[in-house]
Amino acid sequence: MSLQPERTIADLKELRELTGDENGAQRVAWTDTWLKAREWFQSKIKGLPVQHHYDAAGNSWTTLPGASEKTLILGGHLDSVPNGGWLDGSLGVTASLEVLRRFAEEFDGRPPITVRLVDWADEEGARFGRSLLGSSAFAGTSSIQADRVRTDKDNVRLEDAVTRCGFSMDRFPEAAREQKNAAAYLELHIEQGPVLERMGLPLAAVLGTKGVERHAVTFLGQEAHSGSTPMSARHDALAAAAKLALEIRSIAGKHDDSVCTMGSVKTFPGIVTAVVGRCETTLDQRDLDAKILAGMLREAQEASERFAREEKCTVEWSRIWSIEPIAFHPALLGFCEEAVREIGGAAHRMPSGPLHDAAEVSRAGIPTVMMFVQSLRGISHNKIEDSREEHLELAVQALDRLAGKTARWIEAGSRN
């Protein structure tokens, strides 16, 4: 028996049954349901000629040793957001498992190169607000001192939740040892957006993950009585913010794949009888090109100052968080495009707006690429998240094709 994509669908349904409820997937990292999902995974690798261990940051490694120590890594994450979907992260793990089974069988338990499957710990950051926790420890970019004191809504500390699962944050940096012999990393994920569905395509090769600029933008005006203050005498902080909220559409609209979002607005005093004296907003901007991203930030800053002046207000900016764009490996991107074309018919390339563990792996200098499969209605992080089963099966086949091409590339390189 060779690759059986239908086995991946069956695995996903089994996992959904075991770790979901009427509101969706509940595999939040460092909870009992997440541990149950990981135990389930262990039961799935029984009988395969593999070794398993958890690294110091809780990442789960399944290794099929090959003739060469040069290693192809396939990955995903079993953790979900609360009330999440059945595919986000778990498709990467279960599809990789099927590819691992195929390698084990085709090469009689010993492929030419070593193949490993990783289930990253706490990709989502859903409970403690720190995403890519396990993969950043692997990449050596973790921020342990800042992260250990993070608390969840019940005031449980991240460090205590980690300890309860049998790991120690002091030892997180040791996870970087897993980089040894890593020659390539591949990750299959659902798109989580509407682009492929609109184009009528099942699959895409992912160019990289977009850089992010995330800022708090606060407009300051003057609180005043809504009845006695003439329109011409107002310093309306909300009016200035509202202009910016519309302007970011044209700022983003100048570029193909840029996005700008003002996701939060708070007004003060925030009552029906007062002109807004203070308006706190947030702006999130993303693009795959660092120059475009920097340009969009500058444009938004200039526009905010112009609108503040027009409304007789002032504006203050402070950076909440940022990350540079990460472009995936050109050779692997080429293989991914070939695999997508061979299995899915058309080779579409697109950037990823969401961040993924693959971004951390790529930052560690390991050649990396991702593949997307179409999401229905573009919805994710929700129980209605879904993809067509025939597309999921194509995705498993395409990932397997990509893994084969990448394995041969690694093998050819390791002979030199």
Provide the binding-site residues for Zn ion, judged by CB under 5 A: 88-89
Query: What does DSSP say about strands 211-220 and 278-287: parallel, antiparallel, or unpaired?
Result: antiparallel
Q: What amino acid occupies position 394? A: L
C-alpha count within 13 angstroms, C-beta hemisphere, residue 21: 8
Task: Give the integer Cα–Cα distance in Å for 186 and 148.
Answer: 29
State the DSSP string of 146-164: HHHT-B-TT--BHHHHHHH
Nearest to 370 by CA among 250, 288, 266, 248: 288
Give the Å distances, CA to CA, from 415 to 55, 80, 182, 386: 29, 40, 15, 42
**CB of 83 closer than 8 Å to CB of 73:** no
Closest Cα partner for 212 from 131, 315, 309, 273? 131
Q: Which residues contact 228 (CB under 8 A, 6 or more apart)?
A: none
Q: Which is nearer to Zn ion, 88 or 147 (CB)?
A: 88
